[in-house]
Amino acid sequence: MIGHARTMFGSIGAIATAGVLAGALLAASGGVASAAPVSYRAVRAKSVAESIQQAATARPDAHAATSVPPGLQPPAGNVLEAQFVGRGVQVYQCTAGAWVFLEPAANLVGYEIGTSGIQTAIHYKGPTWESTTDGSLVQGTAIASEPVTGSIPQLLLQATANRGTGIFGSVTYINRLDTRGGAAPAGSCTSGQTVGVPYTAQYLFYVPGSSPNV
């Protein structure tokens, strides 16, 4: 739970949960519905090596951190610990003729503030973020939201459970920011259909502390 000491890891480890989800981008054509379910268990795994290659060109800059809207700021006493870029899909299932959100399925690449080592993680139902570098995990629940036209909203989430002593072991709050895509398809649908809508977002992770970093 919250308050565990964090452990520094300088190298990229093997994926810890190969049987669940290790990755992200669906080969869906702009989010076209599929007859078969497309849950995070069925999304194609991406290797850590591919994630590192992606990070080489997409890694965010710690000195130019994403701007956090006033309504999505974490409470005082929490500081920025890590920043990730997420790429994947938001999965929706048709229920009673309407698209209903089912789960996210995304691959995250980023870093811990003040370090140079690249970190990788997966994002799936819960919502859950699980480090594929050190095995730590955080689950959260949304407590504030800001709409984004044509995309999923920006969020502030509060941690509800933690595991391990790695990068996510002491996380208290999470931001989902700079969202692009991922919104539910418009119009009616046939019950039982499932669709994965591609999206990208920035994820900021906070831990207890006394000096604001954002």
DSSP string, 186-200: SS---TT-EEEEEEE
- The average pLDDT across 134-159 equals 97
Q: What is the C-alpha to C-alpha distance for residues 102 and 59, in angstroms, rounded to an integer?
A: 28
For tokens 């698209």, name the residue.
Answer: 99
Q: How confident is the model at residue 116, as a pLDDT?
A: 84
User: Mean pLDDT, to the nearest integer, of 169-196?
Assistant: 95
Which residues are CB-contacts of 162 (< 8 A; sequence separation ≥ 6)?
A: 1, 2, 4, 136, 137, 138, 139, 168, 169, 170, 171
pLDDT on residue 214 = 44
DSSP conformation class of 170:
T
Q: What is the pLDDT of residues 8-54, one digit of tens each?
A: 223 223 223 322 333 333 333 234 333 333 443 344 334 334 444 44
Band (pLDDT 50/70/90 cuts) for residue 211 is low
Mean pLDDT (whole number) for 175-185: 96
Q: How many CB atoms lie within 10 A of CB 19?
A: 8
Coil, strand or helix at 43: coil
Given a contact cutoff of 8 angstroms between Cβ atoms, the answer to whether 60 and 66 are in contact is yes
| 45-83 pLDDT per residue, tens | 343 344 444 444 444 443 345 789 999 999 999 999 999
Residue-wise burial string across 160-198, b where 16 or more C-beta atoms lie within 10 A, e elsewhere: eebbbebbbbbbbbbbbbbbebbbbbeeebeeebbbbbb
Dihedral pair phi/psi, residue 5, rounded to 5°: -70, 145
Summary mean pLDDT of the chain: 77
Residue 186 · residue 28 · CB < 8 Å: no
How would residue 188 be classed by pLDDT, with cut points 50, 70 and 90? confident
